Amino acid sequence: MTSAPADPQTPSGYPTADARPPRLEIRNLRRFFDGRAVVDDVSLQIEAGQVMCLLGPSGCGKSTTLRMIAGVEMQDSGEIYVDGKLICDTVFRVPPERREIGLIFQDFALFPHLSVADNVAFGLKGSKDEKRARVQELLSKVSLAQYIDEFPHQLSGGEQQRVALARALAPKPRIMLMDEPFSGLDNRLRDGIRDETLALLKEEDAAVLLVTHEPEEAMRMADEIALMRAGKIVQQGAPYNVYTRPADRAAVSFFSDTN
Ligand code: ADP
Ligand code: MG
């Protein structure tokens, strides 16, 4: 609706016509629970094709941040922009189903009564043939084409997670939000699935926000790490830089903990 060329809601950081706004930008997000700021002035920018890891200990506000971007939780202040367009502030709000966001959680959340094909096709629009073609394309990308007519309970945890990935990517989301997506998986499988997932994400053109409490996962997958503690981003940068030059003692001990 608000598509005037000189959109007054475009954030001020990239005012010139040729500067492309980031795919996702959150500005000064805050969320209070019981009078406490669990997300406290968080700002981030993620480009299309970039994987940003929001890394921090349990309870620091990662999931709440992600849920606000998804639109299932409302911020108390701050704004969210997609491709430079405001999608949410404290008065204006694009509903979750219109945000073109793919979501993946730890527990996969596949529909148990639907086949693999119907799970992947769930959010798709178009003719039956178009949907079937996209489903087959994605299932072969995650190497599960032979399971197209199986049901979730017939698959292993790793296979279910790959179906969840195929389902989230099927509608070509502009943004992928992943909340501890590998935590439920067997240690042995995890690295392989992390690499496969990363390769697939890189083929699609989404901005990816991956939430994790595991430094190792962030080091393996991120283009950029945002280190979060007690509701705030305390450091941000390329994995190597964040790891070799931690901002403070708490960051040092977080990275050296084997959690
Ligand atoms: P993380 O994902 O980093 O583990 P969360 O975003 O889930 O952290 O939670 C951050 C803090 O906010 C925690 O202290 C949690 O208990 C609190 N919290 C989250 N959701 C609610 C809620 N709906 N009501 C009250 N407190 C909440
Ligand atoms: Mg969480």
- Whether 6 shows a pLDDT value over 60: the answer reads no
Distance CA 240, CA 171 (A): 33
Q: Give the number of whichever ligand sits closest to the CA of residue 68.
A: 1
Helix (H, G, I), strand (E, B) or coil at 97: helix
Per-residue model confidence as pLDDT tens digits over 179-192:
999 988 888 888 98
* Residue partners of 110: CB distance under 8 A and separation at least 6: 119, 152, 160, 163, 164, 167
Q: Taking Cα atoms as reference points, which of 10, 173, 172 lies closest to residue 81?
A: 10
Helix (H) / strand (E) containing 92: none
Q: Which residues contact 72 (CB under 8 A, 6 or more apart)?
A: 96
- Closest residue by Cα to atom 12, ligand 1, is 38
Distance 60 CA to ligand 2 centre (A): 8
Tell the residue nearest (CA) to atom 24 of ligand 1: 33
Pocket of ligand 1 (CB under 6 A): 33, 38, 56, 58-64
Mean pLDDT of the chain: 90
Average pLDDT, integer, range 204-230: 95
Could you report the per-residue pLDDT of 88-99, keeping only the tens digit for each? 999 999 999 899
Query: Is the pLDDT score of 2 beyond 50?
Result: no
Q: Determine the average pLDDT of the residues in 51-59.
A: 97
Tell me what percent of the residues of the chain surpass a pLDDT of 90: 75
Q: Above 0.95 for ipTM, yes or no?
A: yes
Q: What pTM value is reported for the model?
A: 0.90
Mutating to test ligand 1, I would choose from 33, 73, 76, 106 the residue with most ligand atoms within 8 A of its C-beta, which is 33
